Structure 1
Amino acid sequence: MPADLAVIGLGHLGLPLVQAAVAAGIDTVGYDTDPRPCAELRAGRTPVEGSLTASEIRRMLSGGFRPTTSAAELGRVRTAVICAPTPLGPDRTVGLTALGDAARALAARLRPHTTVLLESAVPPGTTENFLRPLLEEGSGLVAGRDFHLACSPSRLDPGNRTHTYASTPKVIGGLTSACTESAAAFYGRLTDKVVRARGPREAEMTKVLETNFRHVNIALVNEMAVACHDLGIDLWDVIRCAETKPFGFQPFRPGPGVGGHGVPVDPGCLPYSSRTPGHPLRMVSLAQEINDRMPSYVIQRCATLLNEHGKSVRGARVLLLGVTYKPDSADQEAAPAREIATRLMDMGAQIGYHDPHVLDWRVRELPVPRADSLYEAAAAADLTVLLQQHRTYDLQGLAVKAQLLLDTRGATPAGAAHRL
């Protein structure tokens, strides 16, 4: 049965789009080359940690959503949105393998007048220099003439109840003005506001700028955290004072490291031959270096605190609180908790954890003991480290129970714990 929309890639990008489309009454099919997400979804379960709840999945299915591994479905839709994952590789370049697979599957079945949209996070030029040739070669059609092609990078903030899919403006850059308008007509059914970029590269670069803005500012405040600790200055009080300035300042807060799906991208590091000329973004590279150092700094602070209380890391019982990358979510994507746990284990510490959203946590494929009673575990641990401030944590009560508490988020009352 034909559908209005095909969402290609049923991961952390695709599922919220499906949810928004079904809620708007759009007949939607979801395609993924991996059979596991489709099987999980058909069973009413979410295949992605920290994504939609089981009840939300069931509502989507009852609303007509059809997950499938049959690529034939892609040739029967008016609009196809590619939400393939684009992870960073060891060399810090964006991996386009899944995007290429999605493009080839769609191209073989692409019909004239279809609108093809790209939501994956990619370096500027990817829509025109990578996606477009695959679609044209596989279909025999010409983008901008036979089918519409545009980029509209995802702006999701999982778990954010204020800025929802509908209330977050969508940036759209089409290959032609007609492509842009076709994309705008589609997204106008899902969001309150559509912002038209000059073209695909401007839309792609918007995502790069937004992600790097966050990354660079987190690096700045992480450096400030280290400097303020060395100088005996309360950074959290400094931030509280600075954020009263009504212009020229936006507060960011330090932490044990940077996680999440939005990764910093240097457009000088394109994963294909036609690389961007000019110099790399040195500030982005430096920010990456600074943020990558934060787990090591947390380990250093742990060792110092234990030593000051007559204990060594070797043999110490360390309880890690909150192992996800953001509060009130089960999503562990690139969270610093695993690296911190690994390093502490290498130093001989006995690691345990507590997280209300993560019932099973593994480091090096080995299960980490989960604390059933938070207060009892904190009282028994030589050191408790708050890595993520989930809403359910009573931090004042925790500070009273814990033998020694290191707060990497500045979430505990002033003077109740050692802060990063």
Structure 2
Amino acid sequence: MSNSYKVASSTDSVCAMRMLAIIGLGYVGLPLGLQFARCGVKVLGLDIDPIKVESLNSGQSYIHHIPSEEIQKQVSEGRFTASTDFSRIREADAVVICVPTPLSKNREPDISYVLNTGKSIAPHLQKGTLVILESTTYPGTTDEDLRAVLESGSGLKAGIDFHLAFSPEREDPGNPSSKVAKIPKVVGGYTPACLEKAKALYLQAVETVVPVSSCRAAEATKLLENIFRSVNIALVNELKMVYAAMGIDIWEVIEAAKTKPFGYMPFYPGPGLGGHCIPIDPFYLTWKAREYGQATRFIELAGEINTSMPKYVIQKLTEALNSVKKPINGSKILIVGLAYKANVDDDRESPSYVLMDLIKEKGGKVSYYDPYVPVIKPSREHSHWAGLRSIEWDPLKISHFDAVLISTAHANIDFSEIARNASLLVDTRNVIKNSQTNPGIIRA
């Protein structure tokens, strides 16, 4: 396709739709559905969780950065409704899949959510319907795995009877300047006709569509974006440890380096990687690459560095406690921030859980404070912490802990108050300024 990488704009012609079905109403699917609804498209949100469905239909948000008022507006005006009834896919002209793609216990891709969703769609798939996968995955998932499930369950053929495409999600939760309508949408189709249908769909809700030559090229684009971040975060995490050994502050170095107006982009160290993307997505490519006899040493090394960060932090915590003649065994430790990033309530793959596990293994007594995560919900990875509640904000309580470890820098936390009241403070996010002059504050 000679014009595969031509950028299409919302001024191009679009088609009218009866209904768009979005499967998976989480951090990706819900914002996307609301954006289409704002643009006048009738949206049916499908989810297997009846509690989510009931909440949305009553106009209540369960995601911190999505206001309930926005949901209430779209529901009341009849542009958005939620359901657990997948047979309603028959009413839709297009179906967008936004379900999780985690790693298995063996750190291998788990696309069971995608395939099971495909099996739920297939019996109700109508001729001419457009199916788009947005879940991050390895190249070949859409045109091989998902296509096979849809075709076998429906008796229809992709590219002939129905359209098939992939468009990677580009959500940035907690970033107020990140708007669905403004973020360019990469799209790859199973056939040229599939691509045109997908472009026409997205141009009803986003300003710019970037077409690529295939579903695999679109899948690979998303992996490149996240691998780029993973590798660069690993670099600054490694430099953090190297520079610390030399008595150099990595944060000061980054601030100086980012004054260069070309050839440099700042990345920041932390206690480890979290969220549903960066800790997971690169390993989708490493797994798939083995099928082609290719090694991904750079990606795997970055993963090793990033996953080692919690141990480095606990080492710093142990050294800090030893400096005041306290062992970690029996010490009361407060983790500040359970969400994987600032200003969100998403705790998936959060490094805070790894820190808590390591402290517990060493005999420490763990509590946490997070205004966005008042109680830990059951999960596959950290079910042993389920039910634990955040402590209430109280400067006096903070002073009773042997050490406070800052893991997530939420904007609504008064870190200066923590610094004043903590007897020992380990800062992994550079939120306490001028900490070099205070022996009770440790960078990690």
Q: TM-score range by the shorter chain?
A: over 0.9
Gaps of 5+ in 2: 1-16
Corresponding residue number in structure 1 for 2:414: 394
Matched residues, number: 415
**CA-to-aligned-CA distance 1:89-133 (integer Å, 9 cap, x gap):** 122222111111111221111111111111011100111111111
Mapped to 1, the partners of 2:251 and 2:413 lie a distance apart of 19
Corresponding residue number in structure 2 for 1:380: 400
**CA-to-aligned-CA distance 1:352-411 (integer Å, 9 cap, x gap):** 221111212376245445332342222222111110111112323322222111110112
1:269 maps onto 2:287 in alignment: yes
Mapped to 1, the partners of 2:263 and 2:184 lie a distance apart of 23
Shift of 1:247: 1.5
CA distance 1:195–1:226, change in 2 (3 Å): same
Corresponding residue number in structure 2 for 1:357: 372
Superposed counterparts of 1:31-70, under 5 Å: 31-46=46-61, 50=64, 52-64=66-78, 65-70=80-85
8 Å Cα contact 1:268/1:277 also seen in 2: no
Shift of 1:51: 5.9
Shift of 1:207: 0.5
1:20 maps onto 2:38 in alignment: no
Shift of 1:50: 4.5
Mapped to 2, the partners of 1:278 and 1:367 lie a distance apart of 45
Mapped to 2, the partners of 1:3 and 1:251 lie a distance apart of 45
Please tell me the residue identity of whatever aligns with 2:72: R
Mapped to 2, the partners of 1:275 and 1:32 lie a distance apart of 34
Shift of 1:146: 1.9
2:167 pairs with 131, 152, 160, which one?
152
Mapped to 2, the partners of 1:203 and 1:126 lie a distance apart of 11
| Structure 1, 289-298 or 35-44: larger mean CA deviation | 35-44
1:137 maps onto 2:152 in alignment: yes
CA distance 1:77–1:373, change in 2 (3 Å): closer
Corresponding residue number in structure 2 for 1:403: 423
Corresponding residue number in structure 2 for 1:85: 100
8 Å Cα contact 1:124/1:204 also seen in 2: yes
1:303 pairs with 310, 313, 318, which one?
318
Corresponding residue number in structure 1 for 2:442: 418
2:177 pairs with 162, 182, 191, which one?
162
Corresponding residue number in structure 2 for 1:326: 341
Shift of 1:164: 0.9
| Structure 1, 252-261 or 398-407: larger mean CA deviation | 398-407
CA distance 1:129–1:392, change in 2 (3 Å): same
| Structure 1, 60-69 or 15-24: larger mean CA deviation | 60-69
TM superposition score normalised by structure 1: 0.94
SS at match of 1:108: helix
Please tell me the residue identity of whatever aligns with 1:8: I
Shift of 1:321: 0.7
8 Å Cα contact 1:9/1:83 also seen in 2: yes
Mapped to 1, the partners of 2:183 and 2:173 lie a distance apart of 12
1:195 maps onto 2:219 in alignment: no
8 Å Cα contact 1:344/1:351 also seen in 2: yes
Corresponding residue number in structure 2 for 1:113: 128
8 Å Cα contact 2:286/2:300 also seen in 1: no
**CA-to-aligned-CA distance 1:248-296 (integer Å, 9 cap, x gap):** 21111111110011123342413xxx96413131111111111111111
SS at match of 1:166: helix
**CA-to-aligned-CA distance 1:46-97 (integer Å, 9 cap, x gap):** 45x5463433333332232221121221011111111121111122222111
Mapped to 2, the partners of 1:50 and 1:190 lie a distance apart of 23
CA distance 1:70–1:369, change in 2 (3 Å): closer
Corresponding residue number in structure 2 for 1:285: 300
Please tell me the residue identity of whatever aligns with 1:315: G
Mapped to 1, the partners of 2:419 and 2:127 lie a distance apart of 63
Please tell me the residue identity of whatever aligns with 2:267: F
Gaps of 5+ in 1: none
8 Å Cα contact 2:373/2:390 also seen in 1: no
Mapped to 1, the partners of 2:274 and 2:95 lie a distance apart of 29
Corresponding residue number in structure 1 for 2:10: none
1:245 pairs with 253, 256, 260, which one?
260
Please tell me the residue identity of whatever aligns with 2:84: T
Mapped to 1, the partners of 2:29 and 2:392 lie a distance apart of 34
Mapped to 2, the partners of 1:250 and 1:408 lie a distance apart of 20
Corresponding residue number in structure 2 for 1:312: 327
Mapped to 2, the partners of 1:275 and 1:59 lie a distance apart of 48
TM superposition score normalised by structure 2: 0.89
Structure 1: 4+ residue segments shifted above 6 A: none
Identity of aligned residues (%): 38
